[in-house]
Amino acid sequence: MAQVAVMSPNGEVNKIDKDSAESAAALRQMAALMLKAVLADKYDGIRLGDAVAEDDQFWVDSDKDDQQVSADELEGLEADIKKLAKNDAKVEFVERDVNDALADVKNDKFSTELINDHAKNGKVAMYNLGNAYAVAEAPILVYGDVVKNFKLLSVAGAYWKGMSSNPMLQRIYGTAFYKKDDLAEDLKKRQEAKERDHRVIGNQLDLFFVDPKVGAGLPYWLPKGAAIRRTIERYIIDREVADGYEHVYTPVLMNLDAYKTSGHWEHYRDDMFPPMDMGDGEMLELRPMNCPSHIQVYKHHLRSYRDLPLRIAELGMMHRYEKSGALSGLQRVREMTLNDGHTFVALDQIRSEFAKILKLIMSVYKDFDITDYSFRLSLRDPKNVKKYYANDEMWEKSQSMLKQAMDDLSLDYYEAEGEAAFYGPKLDIQTKTALGNDETMSTIQLDFMLPERFGLTYVGKDGQEHMPVMIHRGVVGTMERFVAYLTEIYKGAFPTWLAPEQVHIIPVSDDKHGDYADQLGAELRAAKIRVNVDHRNEKMGYKIREAQTQKVPYTLVVGDDEMANGSVSVRKYGEKEQNSMSKQDFMDELLADIASYSRAK
Q: What is the CATH number of the domain that holds 29?
A: 3.30.980.10
Least reliable range by pLDDT among 106-115, 494-503, 518-527 = 106-115
Name the pLDDT band for 600 (thresholds 50, 70, 90): low
Contact assessment for residue 362 and residue 251, using Cβ atoms and an 8 Å cutoff: no
Is the pLDDT at 1 greater than 70, yes or no? Answer: no
Note whether 439 and 501 are same-domain residues: no
Element (H, E) at 340: strand 335-345
Strand partners, 140: 7
Specify if 332 maps to a domain. yes
**Which pLDDT belongs to residue 481?**
95
**Which pLDDT belongs to residue 198?**
94
**Which pLDDT belongs to residue 394?**
75
CA distances from 291 to 288, 311, 312 (A): 9, 12, 10
Q: Summarize pLDDT for 156-208 with one digit per residue, the tens.
A: 888 888 777 788 899 999 999 999 999 999 999 889 888 899 999 999 999 99
Write the CATH number for 548.
Answer: 3.40.50.800
Q: Summarize pLDDT for 300-357 with one digit per residue, the tens.
A: 999 999 999 999 999 999 999 988 778 889 999 999 999 999 999 999 899 899 999 9
Strand partners, 60: 51, 172
Note whether 43 and 71 are same-domain residues: yes
Domain end among 456, 490, 524: 490
Specify if 23 maps to a domain. yes
Specify if 189 maps to a domain. no
Note whether 562 and 480 are same-domain residues: no
Burial of 30 (0-12, 13-18, 19+ CB in 10 A): buried
Annotated binding site for Zn(2+): 291, 342, 472
Pairing of strands 310-319, 246-247: parallel
Specify if 192 maps to a domain. no
Element (H, E) at 110: helix 109-118
Is the pLDDT at 415 greater than 70, yes or no? Answer: yes
Specify if 190 maps to a domain. no
Annotated binding site: 291, 342, 472
Specify if 194 maps to a domain. no
Name the pLDDT band for 584 (thresholds 50, 70, 90): very high
pLDDT average, residue stretch 498-510: 96
Note whether 486 and 500 are same-domain residues: no
Size of the chain, expressed as the number of residues it contains: 601
- Supply the DSSP symbol for 501: S
d(CA 474, CA 444): 7
Is the pLDDT at 601 greater than 70, yes or no? Answer: no
Q: Is the peptide bond before 309 cis (omega within 30 degrees of 0)?
A: yes
d(CA 62, CA 372): 41
Note whether 256 and 296 are same-domain residues: yes
Helix, strand, or coil (residue 389): coil
Q: Summarize pLDDT for 254-287 with one digit per residue, the tens.
A: 999 999 999 889 888 889 999 999 998 899 999 9
Domain count, the chain: 3
Note whether 339 and 476 are same-domain residues: yes
CA distances from 337 to 290, 397, 424, 468, 483 (A): 10, 32, 23, 27, 11
pTM: 0.82
**Which pLDDT belongs to residue 287?**
94
Domain end among 490, 514, 529: 490
Is the pLDDT at 392 greater than 80, yes or no? Answer: no
Which residue range(s) make up the domain with 298?
204-490
Q: DSSP string of 561-581?
A: HHHHHTEEEEEETT----EEE
pLDDT above 70 covers what percent of the chain?
A: 99
Most distant CA pair in the chain, distance: 91
Q: Summarize pLDDT for 345-363 with one digit per residue, the tens.
A: 999 899 899 999 999 999 9
| Backbone torsion region of residue 45, taken as left when φ is above 0, otherwise alpha when ψ lies between -120 and 50, otherwise beta | left
Specify if 152 maps to a domain. yes
Other beta carbons within 10 angstroms of residue 334's beta carbon come to 21
Strand partners, 479: none
**Which pLDDT belongs to residue 503?**
97
Buried-exposed string 420-458: b where 16+ CB fall within 10 A, e elsewhere: bbebbbbbbbbbbbbeeeebbbbbbbbbbbbbebbebbb
Note whether 308 and 453 are same-domain residues: yes
**Which pLDDT belongs to residue 106?**
87
Note whether 303 and 398 are same-domain residues: yes
**Which pLDDT belongs to residue 477?**
93
Specify if 240 maps to a domain. yes
**Which pLDDT belongs to residue 438?**
86
Burial of 67 (0-12, 13-18, 19+ CB in 10 A): exposed
Distance of CA 395 to the CA centre of its chain: 30
d(CA 212, CA 165): 12
Is the pLDDT at 382 greater than 80, yes or no? Answer: no
Taking alpha carbons only, the member of 245, 259, 262 closest to residue 314 is 245
Element (H, E) at 49: strand 47-54
pLDDT average, residue stretch 562-590: 93
Note whether 430 and 348 are same-domain residues: yes
Contact assessment for residue 172 and residue 150, using Cβ atoms and an 8 Å cutoff: no
Note whether 426 and 555 are same-domain residues: no
Burial of 178 (0-12, 13-18, 19+ CB in 10 A): middle
* Cα-only R_g, the chain: 29
**Which pLDDT belongs to residue 344?**
98
Sheet hosting strand 276-277, strand order edge to edge: 253-255, 283-286, 276-277
Note whether 439 and 556 are same-domain residues: no
d(CA 409, CA 6): 50
Strand partners, 314: 340
Note whether 162 and 209 are same-domain residues: no
pLDDT average, residue stretch 91-113: 91
Domain end among 444, 465, 490: 490
